[in-house]
Each structure stands twice: as structure tokens, then as C-alpha cells.
Amino acid sequence: MNAPAKAVQSPEAFLDSLFDESILIKTGVDGLYGRAGVFEEVIDRFEDAVTKMAVGDKATRIHFPPGMPRKNLEKAGYLKSFPQLAGCVHSFMGDNADHAKLVGMIEKGEDWTEMQDATEVALTPAACYPLYPTVAAAGPVPDGGKLFDLKSYCFRHEPSKDPGRMQLFRMREFVRIGTADDVIAFRATWLERGEQLIKSLGLPCVIDLANDPFFGRPGRMLAANQREQGLKFELLIPVASDDNPTACLSFNYHQNHFGTLWGMQFADGEAVHSACVGFGLERTALALFRHHGTKVEAWPDDVRRVLWG
Ligand code: AMP
Ligand code: ZN
């Protein structure tokens, strides 16, 4: 059956319908799913449409793995701002006696995780995090700045029954590095392009001011500050709920924060500004399935034309 578009009772009911139709495959952990071939096909086609929009920009494409140096996540301040979301890879580093203890603990059903220690690898929380230190290491940024095209699986510890809130998901990102004017213009261009692309896919959307989920009480001030300065916008689409639409694209201006932090600078020593535009690939695919149904052959012709040419 072609799952009825439009009517979604609750995020959990939407997730169950995706399991029932084998669009997503259960693993037993909320937010950790297998993806059906058709789901991947939709993501591939959507990414091609994004690539087509950006083709004249001549961005440098880089593919980092979904893990990054733990030290760089620390230095980026991620544990200060979002400790609740961070994930670090742990591994067993003991001797034979420790190994016997580990196996014994598992056999007895005990918690064995104390037998592991943190490795040098943390899971990447956003596709752009591994980039900045590599830009700094490449030397002075040329006058015209730089533009990157990135994609990564990202981890955020936010288990949920909302299919739009996964623990491991992919983000396609464009990152612009340059003067304040350069990066603000870049963000403005993508605010227009993003809306145009999503509307061409027959999806209802609004763009709104947003903030990141900074942790704790001091976080509330950071979030208010971010909003006041208009540093983050999101493109929202009703996916698992009509009342709370889901952020599928985000448009972030970092001012010279990362430039100063990582020492990314022009030849005269001035810190660069940066901005990034992130496409949530799973969320966009889910929006398409929700609004057009699970049978892609039956999607409206104009939508199919954008994706399949
Ligand atoms: P953010 O850095 O929070 O603005 O995230 C960038 C983009 O990644 C968002 O616009 C979403 O589309 C996507 N995203 C963020 N968190 C999740 C999640 N838990 N599950 C799936 N997609 C996500
Ligand atoms: Zn980013």
C-alpha cells in the first residue's frame, strides 16, 4: 500500500508505519536504523539536485569519516555547549587478566563498560567540525576565501521515537570561509536556494530564526544571544508532526568564532569569518515520504522530474 501522505497521527505512529513498510529497519535502539534501498535512492537523488544547484560554485569536496580527533572536539568547545549530545569511542586496552575479567563480566550479564578506555576518536557531531583545523593547518586563507562541500554521518546522543531525530544520520554541508561580507552573502544565497529546492519538491516549508540546544542554565543565555544576533536559521517542514515542524536545513553564521579559535586567518593575520549550510539528508527523505507516500513511482511528475531528471 502506498502509505497515505499528509495524515500523521504522532511521531511514533509515523515511525511504526516506516518500519511496517520496511523503509526503515529496526535495530532495537531508538534513533539507530537500517535504511531501505529506496530510502537511499531518494537521498542520492536529492543530493544530486543539491550538487546541481551548487555546480557553478566550484566548492572543494572533502569526505571525512564519521569520527574525528577527540582533542579537536574538546577544543571546539563541544563538551561545554552540548555535553548531552557528544559521543566518544571507547576500546579495550587491557592485558590478559583484564580480558578474562571482561569476558567474565559479560557472561554474568554485568556492566563491562568500565573495562574500556576512551580512544583518541570522538564521533563527529556535525559535518563541518573536522574541517576547521585542517583549513588552519593549510596556511593563510587567500583573499577570496574558501568554499567546501562536505558530507558525513554524524552522531548525536538523542534517542527518540521521532524518526526525524536519529542518533546516527547524514549531513551534507557547504562551508564558506572568508570575510564577514563573503560568508553572509553565501548564507543569503543558500537561504534562497534551499527554499527554492524544497518547494520544487512539493514540500511545504517555512524559514525561521533558530538556536542550538545549548546545555543547562548558561546555555539559555547562549541560545538567546544566538537568536538576538540572527546567527542561525532553519528551514522547517512538517514531517512527523504538523504542530512541530522539523528542521531539515540549517543556515549558520559563526562570525569569526572558528577563525579565532583555530587560527584560520588571512595573510595579514586577521581571523576569517565562517558560515555553514547543512542539509539533513534523512530528514529531507522522510519529508518526501511523508508528503508523497512510500511508492516513489507514484510521486507527482514535477517532483520526480526534479529528482530523476
Ligand atoms: P544542526 O547542526 O543542529 O543545525 O543540524 C544540521 C542539520 O542536521 C539539521 O538541519 C537537520 O536537518 C539535521 N539533524 C540534526 N539533528 C538531527 C537528528 N538527530 N537526526 C536527523 N537529522 C538531524
Ligand atoms: Zn556546520
Per residue in 27-84, pLDDT tens? Answer: 999 999 999 999 999 999 999 999 999 999 999 999 999 999 999 999 999 999 999 9
On the question of pLDDT at 245 being above 70, the answer is yes
Same domain flag for 81 and 115: no
Is residue 6 pLDDT above 80, yes or no?
no
What mean pLDDT is predicted for residues 106-124? 98
The verdict on 235 and 278 lying in the same domain is yes
Q: What CATH number corresponds to the domain at position 25?
A: 3.30.930.10
How much is the pLDDT for 214?
97
Residue 6 included in any domain: no
Residue nearest to atom 13 of ligand 1 (CA): 280
Beta carbon of 194 within 6 Å of any ligand 1 atom = no
Q: Tell whether 40 is covered by a domain.
A: yes
- Is the pLDDT at 5 greater than 60, yes or no? no
Structural domain count, the chain:
2
Task: Tell me the residue type at 241.
Answer: S
Tell whether ligand 1 has an atom less than 6 A from the beta carbon of residue 283. yes
Is the pLDDT score of 1 beyond 70?
Answer: no
282 and 222, same domain (yes or no): yes
Q: Is 174 part of a structural domain of the chain?
A: yes
Residues 79 and 99 in one domain: no
Of all residues in the chain, the percent with pLDDT exceeding 90 is 97
- Reported as a single tens digit per residue, the pLDDT across 183-230 is 999 999 999 999 999 999 999 999 999 999 999 999 999 999 999 999
Q: Measure 280 CA to ligand 1 centroid, in angstroms.
A: 5
Atom of ligand 1 at shortest range from CA of 248: 12
Of 104, 123, 142, the residue at which a domain comes to its end is 123
Average pLDDT over residues 103-116: 98
Domain boundary among the residues 105, 123, 141 is at: 123
pTM: 0.96
The answer as to whether 81 is a domain residue is yes
Do 148 and 285 lie in a common domain? Answer: yes
Picking from 4-13, 58-67, 176-185, which range would have the lowest pLDDT averaged per residue?
Answer: 4-13
Same domain, 171 and 42: yes
- Does residue 4 sit within a domain? no
The reply to whether 2 falls in a domain is: no
Q: Quick check: 3 pLDDT over 60?
A: no
Per-residue pLDDT at 4 exceeds 60: no
Pocket flag, ligand 1, residue 249 (CB < 6 Å): yes
The mean pLDDT of the chain is: 96
Does any ligand 1 atom lie closer than 6 A to the CB of residue 126? yes
**What pLDDT sits at residue 8?**
74
Domain carrying residue 106: 90-123
Index of the ligand 1 atom closest to the CA of residue 232: 4
Looking at residues 159-164, what average pLDDT do you find?
98
SS (H, E, C) the chain: CCCCCCCCCCHHHHHHHHHHCCCEECCCCCCCCEECHHHHHHHHHHHHHHHHHHHHHCCEEECCCCEEEHHHHHHCCHHHHCCCCCCEEEEECCCHHHHHHHHHHHHCCCCCHHHEEEEEEEECCCCCCCHHHHHHHCCCECCCCEEEEEEEEEECCCCCCCCCCCCEEEEEEEEEEECHHHHHHHHHHHHHHHHHHHHHCCCCCEEEECCCCCCHHHHHHHHHHHHHCCCEEEEEECCCCCCCCEEEEEEEECCCHHHHHHCCEECCCCECEEEEEEEEHHHHHHHHHHHHCCCHHHCCHHHHHHHHC
Question: What is the pLDDT, as a whole number, of residue 2?
Answer: 47
Whether residue 112 lies inside any domain: the answer is yes
Same domain, 111 and 73: no
Same domain flag for 267 and 283: yes
Kindly give the distance from the C-alpha atom of residue 174 to the centroid of ligand 1, in angstroms, as a whole number: 14
Do 294 and 225 lie in one domain? The reply is: yes
253 and 134 in a common domain: yes
In-domain check, residue 170: yes
Q: 97 with 71, same domain?
A: no
> Are residues 105 and 230 both part of a single domain?
no
C-alpha cell at 193: 536556494
| 278 in Cβ contact with 127 (< 8 Å) | yes
